[in-house]
Amino acid sequence: MAAAPLQPVPASGETSLSEEDRAGQAYFDRIIADDSRIEPKDWMPEAYRKTLTRQISQHAHSEIIGMQPEANWITRAPSLKRKSILMAKVQDEAGHGLYLYSAAETLGTPRDVLNQQLLDGKAKYSSIFNYPARSWADMGAIGWLVDGAAIANQVPLCRASFGPYGRAMVRICKEESFHQRQGFEILLELSHGTPAQKKMAQDAVDRFYAPALMMFGPPDDDSPNSKQSMAWNIKRFSNDELRQRFVGMIAEQVKVLGLTLPDPELRFDEETGKWIHMELDWQEFKDVIAGRGPCNAQRLARRREAHENGAWVREAARAYAQKTADKRKAGAA
Ligand SMILES: [Fe+2]
Ligand SMILES: [Fe+2]
C-alpha cells in the first residue's frame, strides 16, 4: 500500500494558492462551519465576494427602483394620513438602498460603480417593480404581498454569514414589517368599504399575487446558484421553501381581509405538509428580469433622470468635502 501523501493533492485551480490564501481559506471554512460571521477585512474566496457583491447590490437596486411604483401615488393618496404614511414608507425604501449600498461597498466595489451598472441597464433588480401600480388599492397589495414576500425572503438573511449584510437586514426587516401592516390595513379598509372599493382591492390582489410568488425566484430545480449560497450560509432556505412559507401566511391572512387569492389550485396538502399552488409563468419572469416587463424602460428612464437631477447635490457634497479637507490641512499646518 502506498504511503499517504503528506499534503493533500490540490484540486485543479488551487495550485496557485499562496500560503496566505491557504491560511485564509482555512479560517474562512472554520467561520462558516461554526456558523459565525465573515467581516469585510477577513480573507474570503473571490467567488464569495463576487456573489455577495452581486446579491447585495441587486438588493440595493431593488429598494431604490421599488420606490417608484409607490412614489407615483403619494400625490394621489386619499387622505393626509395615508399620504404621510406612504411618504414615510417610500423614504424607508431609500434608506434600505443606502444601508445595502454601504454593505456592498465594504466588499470593495465603490457605490458609483454599482450605481452605474444599474443606470447602464447591466444590473438586475427584483422583477416585481416592473409591474405598474394602477390604483390606490395597489398600495395595499404592494405593502401586503410585495413587502410581505420581502420579509419572508429577508428574515433568514439577518443570519447571513457576511456581517454587514446580516446587520443591515435586521433593521430593514423591522421596517418591512411596518410596510406590510400598512398595506394590509389599506386592503382591510377597502374590503370593508363600498362594493367599488372592495372590487378595487380584489383586483389589486389578483394582479400582484403571481408576481409576488415569483419574487422568491425560480423553482429549486432551476436555481443553480442556490446550493453554493446555502453552503456559504448566505441563503438559509431554498426558493421553494420560502415560497411555501409565504403562501401559508397569506392564505390565512386573506381570510381576515375578506378577499380571495386568485389561485383555484391553492390548498394545503396534509400528506406532504405542503401548500399546493398554481403553476407560475416562468417565461414571464425571465422576460421581466431580462428587461422586457411592462415598466422596465420607464423605471430605468426615471432612475436616470433622478440621477441627472441629483448631479448638483453630488457636486455640492464634493465641494464641501474638499473645503473641509482644506480647512483641516490648514489647521494642521
Ligand atoms: Fe425595503
Ligand atoms: Fe418595504
Distance from the alpha carbon of residue 33 to the mean position of ligand 1, in angstroms: 30
**Cα R_g (the chain), whole angstroms:** 23
Distance from the alpha carbon of residue 267 to the mean position of ligand 1, in angstroms: 30
Q: Per-residue pLDDT tens for 42-63?
A: 999 999 999 999 999 999 999 9
Distance from the alpha carbon of residue 143 to the mean position of ligand 2, in angstroms: 7
Are the C-beta atoms of 275 and 209 separated by less than 8 Å? Answer: no
Distance from the alpha carbon of residue 176 to the mean position of ligand 1, in angstroms: 6
pLDDT at 224: 82
Distance from the alpha carbon of residue 175 to the mean position of ligand 2, in angstroms: 7
- Residue 323 phi/psi, 5-degree rounding, is -60, -45
Cell numbers 457636486 correspond to 315
pLDDT at 15: 57
Beta-carbon count within 10 A of 309 CB: 9
Helices marked H in the chain — which ranges?
19-33, 46-65, 67-71, 80-105, 111-119, 137-141, 147-154, 163-191, 195-214, 226-231, 239-257, 282-287, 296-309, 311-332
Distance from the alpha carbon of residue 89 to the mean position of ligand 2, in angstroms: 7
Nearest to residue 217, comparing CAs of 242, 247, 180?
A: 242
**CA gap 235, 231 in Å, rounded:** 8
pLDDT at 140: 98
Distance from the alpha carbon of residue 61 to the mean position of ligand 2, in angstroms: 13
Those residues whose beta carbon sits under 5 angstroms from the ion ligand 1 are 63, 93, 96
Low-confidence ranges of the chain (pLDDT < 50): 1-13
Those residues whose beta carbon sits under 5 angstroms from the ion ligand 2 are 147, 176, 179
Nearest ligand, CA 95 = 1
| Cell numbers linked to 164 | 454587514
3-state secondary structure of 274: strand
Beta-carbon count within 10 A of 66 CB: 24
Distance from the alpha carbon of residue 326 to the mean position of ligand 1, in angstroms: 38
**CA gap 131, 213 in Å, rounded:** 14
| Side-chain-facing half-sphere of 216: CA atoms under 13 Å | 25
Are the C-beta atoms of 214 and 239 separated by less than 8 Å? Answer: no
Orientation of helix 311-332 relative to helix 296-309, angle to 10°: 40
| Cell numbers linked to 286 | 425571465
pTM for the model: 0.91
Distance from the alpha carbon of residue 127 to the mean position of ligand 2, in angstroms: 15
